[in-house]
Amino acid sequence: MLDNIKSTGKKATRDGFGAGIDAISAENDQVVVLTADLAGSLKIQNFIDNYPERYFQIGIAEANMMGIAAGLANGGKIPYTTTFANFSTGRVYDQIRQSIAYSHKNVKICASHAGLTLGEDGATHQILEDLGMMRMLPGMTVINPCDYHQTKAAAIAIAHHDGPVYLRFGRPSWPMFTEDMPFEIGKALHMAEGTDISIFATGHMVWQAVEAAKELAKEGISVDLVNIHTIKPLDEEAILASVKKTGCAVSCEEHNRMGGLGDAIAQVLTGNHPVPQEFVAVNDSFGESGTPAELLDKYGLSVADVVKAAKRALARK
């Protein structure tokens, strides 16, 4: 099955978001879009051109944007807020908690330029804590798609979901999988069947996990590969079904090792079926300026790092 998983080209996940906005806006006239002076970076220019009356340029006032979005949701609109992930979460956490999550407002918080792969903008913009922050909010759905097509599908799907959503995606061009890859909120995607080790990956790290699984296969190691695009609600059934086959696990995320996908999986395992687990994530550190590839290598998120983590987990079985 791994031989059939190939890149069909490269596009940024933020481009997938823009395409998803175009599609859902044509379908649903209650969708409105707000931005904090980053329309170009979030790829919403087509929406602005086609639906100027449904577009709100808030300026560099992210906290105000969240409050306005909550008000629009009160009026029956489906607001999508758009800015960088750091400004979508860390800068406005109080507003999200009080005005959106606490009252379960139907606001879609759409966050680009997340993680180390933001690249040269450096540590101040490379938020690595956002998945943990958002998954701790009661009632918040947290989605981290892996490629252009999955991000497009997610941007469409969240309009049909009642309640607050955090949708995280990235800046760089990234390998794409097939366009017909299914997407359902809260339903993990089983990408390859295996018997030796479970690898759970999210976001850009899905591609790293695919490449690592192929390397492991060359050594006769069979990988059960699962794409966890929805961090919350987590597909516990898929996780447990996988580890019951394999007996050990690796979690892969472009995020701090504390609070994100790895921690979420660990909670499931310790409470239901304890097995050895290794974490591929940033180890309690901020990032720095560099190319995406350089940063993934330096901070332990390369393909080789996934392979090493898999071998450590196997050794602990």
Q: Strands of 228-275 (E only): list them.
A: 230-232, 249-256
pLDDT at 3 exceeding the cut of 90: no
> Residues 54-99: pLDDT tens digits?
999 999 999 999 999 999 999 999 999 999 999 999 999 999 999 9
Domain identity same for 243 and 310: yes
- The CATH number assigned to the domain holding 246 equals 3.40.50.920
What percent of the chain is predicted at pLDDT more than 90? 96
pLDDT at 296 exceeding the cut of 90: yes
Single-letter amino acid, residue 257: R
CA distances from 13 to 43, 198, 222 (A): 10, 25, 29
Helix (H) or strand (E) holding 97: none
> Residues 240-274: pLDDT tens digits?
999 999 999 999 999 999 999 999 999 999 999 99
CB 176 within 8 A of CB 147: yes
Look at residue 136 and tell me if it is in a domain.
yes
Look at residue 210 and tell me if it is in a domain.
yes
Look at residue 97 and tell me if it is in a domain.
yes
Domain identity same for 232 and 296: yes
Grade residue 178 by pLDDT with cuts at 50, 70 and 90: confident
Domain identity same for 128 and 266: no
Mean pLDDT of 216-235: 98
Grade residue 7 by pLDDT with cuts at 50, 70 and 90: confident
pLDDT of residue 8: 87
Domain identity same for 258 and 170: no
Q: Give the total number of structural domains in the chain.
A: 2
Q: Which of 62, 211, 254, 278 is catalytic?
A: 62
**What range does the domain containing 291 cover?**
189-315
Look at residue 4 and tell me if it is in a domain.
no
Mean pLDDT of the chain: 97
Grade residue 17 by pLDDT with cuts at 50, 70 and 90: very high
Give the domain-ending residue among 151, 175, 199.
175
Is residue 236 part of the annotated active site? The answer reads: no
Give the domain-ending residue among 135, 151, 175.
175
